[in-house]
């Protein structure tokens, strides 16, 4: 049996178990869970869900790394993309963002560094949105011209 068939069987088993767990949680009811009657079963299901999520993330990372290592041009393109993203993030942080210490509504203080980090995140979001919009627009125009 090859790896793909084995993964399909494992995915089917996990899917069936997930349905069983979901039905069990729904049948417990919100009121019983809030009262603490079904808390132990819900906690158990949450830990199982975290475990399955960890396995899925680990599998994606392993297969991605294996694919990148075996494909030199793919590795090069990935590193260029990561470098471009980090470069844009650094530009947004050091050039565009400015931070000021601010008192929040709950009385806590947002430091100058935290404010600058939030500003840089917003500028990075705007820049990535412009790049994505420009890319879609460019490819749309190119497709229309053909």
Q: How many CB atoms lie within 10 A of CB 99?
A: 17
pTM: 0.61
- Contact indicator for 52, 43 with CB cutoff of 8 Å: no
Which SS3 state, helix, strand or coil, does residue 102 take?
A: strand
Measure the CA–CA gap between 102 and 130, rounded to whole angstroms. Answer: 29
Measure the CA–CA gap between 16 and 8, rounded to whole angstroms. Answer: 12
Six-digit token pair at 29? 């009811």
Supply the pLDDT for residue 19.
Answer: 86
Supply the pLDDT for residue 33.
Answer: 66
> Cα–Cα distances in Å, from 12 out to 2, 56, 110?
16, 14, 48
φ and ψ at residue 102, rounded to 5 degrees = -135, 140
**pLDDT tens track, the chain, 146 positions:** 687 788 788 888 888 888 887 787 777 777 766 666 656 666 777 788 888 889 888 988 888 888 888 888 888 898 999 999 999 999 999 999 998 898 889 989 999 999 999 999 999 999 999 999 999 999 999 999 98
Phi-psi region of 66 (alpha: psi -120 to 50; beta: other; left: phi over 0): alpha
């Amino acid at each position: 049996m090859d790896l793909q068939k084995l993964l399909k069987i494992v995915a089917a088993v996990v899917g069936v178990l997930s349905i069983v767990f979901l039905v069990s949680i729904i049948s417990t009811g919100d009121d019983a869970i809030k009262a603490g009657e079904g808390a132990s079963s819900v906690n158990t299901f949450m830990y199982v869900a975290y475990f399955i999520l960890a396995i899925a993330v680990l599998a994606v990372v392993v297969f991605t790394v294996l694919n990148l290592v075996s494909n030199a041009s793919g590795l090069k393109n990935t590193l260029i993309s990561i470098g471009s993203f980090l470069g844009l993030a650094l530009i947004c942080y050091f050039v565009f963002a400015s931070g000021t210490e601010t008192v929040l509504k709950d009385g806590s203080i947002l430091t100058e560094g935290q404010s600058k980090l939030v500003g840089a995140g917003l500028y990075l979001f705007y820049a990535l949105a412009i790049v994505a919009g420009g890319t879609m627009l460019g490819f749309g125009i190119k497709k229309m011209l053909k």
